[in-house]
Amino acid sequence: MAAGRLIIKTEFLPTKYRGYMLPLSQVFWLAGSLLIIGLASVVIPTIGWRWLIRIASIPGIILILAFKFIPESARFNVSTGNTQAALATLEHIAKMNRSVMPEGRLVEPILEKRGRFADLLDAKYLRTTLQIWVIWLGISFAYYGVILASAELLERDLVCGSRSEVVVTVGDTEGSQSPCHCHMFAPSDYQTMIISTIGEIALNPFNILGINFLGRRLSLSITMGCTALFFLLLNICTSSAGLIGFLFMLRALVAANFNTIYIYTAEVYPTTMRALGMGTSGSLCRIGAMVAPFISQVLMSASFLGALCLFSSVCIVCAISAFTLPIETKGRALQQIK
C-alpha cells in the first residue's frame, strides 16, 4: 500500500519538488504513530490490548472506501494506450489548479510488454537492484528494531538495570514453564514513546536539505552511518533523559533513511518497472520487519550488546551499499522506458 501511494505521488510531482514534498508526507505517518501510542495509553490499561487492535483497524476499513477517489497515474495510462483516462486525470488536475489544459494531444508509444521480474536483474539494473534490496531489508530491520527495542528498554530498563524484572511463570506441566516479562507500561513510559516517536519528523528539514543538495546516495549513507553509531550508544549506561535522547535520534534517523530510499527507488526505475521495483523492495522490507523481533527482543534478552552490534553492523553494510549505488537520481527526470 505504501509503495503504491509513493509511486503515484512520485509520478504526479514535478522533478524539482519530489525531494521536498515526499519527505513532508512523513508528518502523516508520525500522526498515526502518535495516535496509536495515545490510544494504547488509554485503552490497554482499561479494556485491554484486544480492543486496541479492533479500534486501530477502523481507519484501514475507511481507507478501502477512499481508494475510489485516488486517481490512476496519468503516466501509466498513457504508457498503456489509455489516453482518454490520462486526459481525464490531467483535466481534473487543471480544474483543481484553476488552470487550463495546453493545446495538443497526448502522444506516447504503447509499450508491447510490461515490466517483468527478470528486468530488475537485467545487466543494466542488476547491481542497483541488489544494493537497493540490501538497503530496504536493512532499513526495515533497523526501523522496527528501534521500535521494539524501545519497548524492551522501557519495560525492563536494560540500559542501567535500575528496574527489577517481573517474572511470571507460564504453564501447568513440569518442563513447559517459561519466564514471561509482564511489566505494564507506566504513564511515563508512554510519554517516552511519544517523545521518541516525534523524532521521526525532527530531522525532516535536514533530511530534505541533504536529499536535495547532497544527493540521494550520500544523504542515505550519512544517515545510515549515524544510525549505526546511535545503536551502539544505547549500550552506554545513562539517565532516563539520555535514553530518551538516544531513542529520539534513532527514530529520527531511521525515518530519514526510509524517506530517502523511498524517493530513490521510485526515481531510479523507469515507468514500466517502477511499481515492480517498489513492490519487490517492499517484500524485502517485510522480511526485515519479520526478523527484527527475534533480535530486538529474543537476542537482546540474552545479549544486549550482541543485539546492538548486529543492528549497527547491518546499518554499516547499508551505508556502504548506499554510498556505492551506481546511479544518482538527484534532479533526474523520471525515466519512461527501460
97-139 pLDDT, tens per residue?
A: 777 877 777 766 655 566 677 878 888 889 999 999 999 999 9
Assess whether pLDDT exceeds 60 at residue 287.
Answer: yes
Tell me the whole-structure pTM to 2 decimals. Answer: 0.71
pLDDT at 177: 42
Residue 179 pairs with which residues in a beta bridge? 169
For residues 149-175, give the mean pLDDT: 52
Burial class (CB in 10 A: 0-12, 13-18, 19+), 321: buried
Query: Crossing angle of helices 240-268/2-12, nearest 10°?
Result: 60
Q: Where are the beta strands (DSSP E) in the chain?
A: 167-170, 178-181
pLDDT at 64: 82
218-243 pLDDT, tens per residue?
A: 999 999 999 999 999 888 877 777 88
pLDDT at 168: 42
Whole-angstrom Cα distance, residue 139 to residue 208? 18
Highest mean pLDDT among 5-9, 117-121, 149-153, 184-188: 117-121
pLDDT at 198: 80
How distant, in Å, are the alpha carbons of 131, 227, 245 from that of 308?
23, 11, 17
* DSSP letter for each residue of 138-193: HHHHHHHHHHHHHHHHHHH-TTT--SPPPEEEE-SSTT--EEEE-PPPPHHHHHHH
pLDDT at 220: 93
Mean pLDDT of the chain: 78
Assess whether pLDDT exceeds 70 at residue 2.
Answer: no
Assess whether pLDDT exceeds 70 at residue 166.
Answer: no
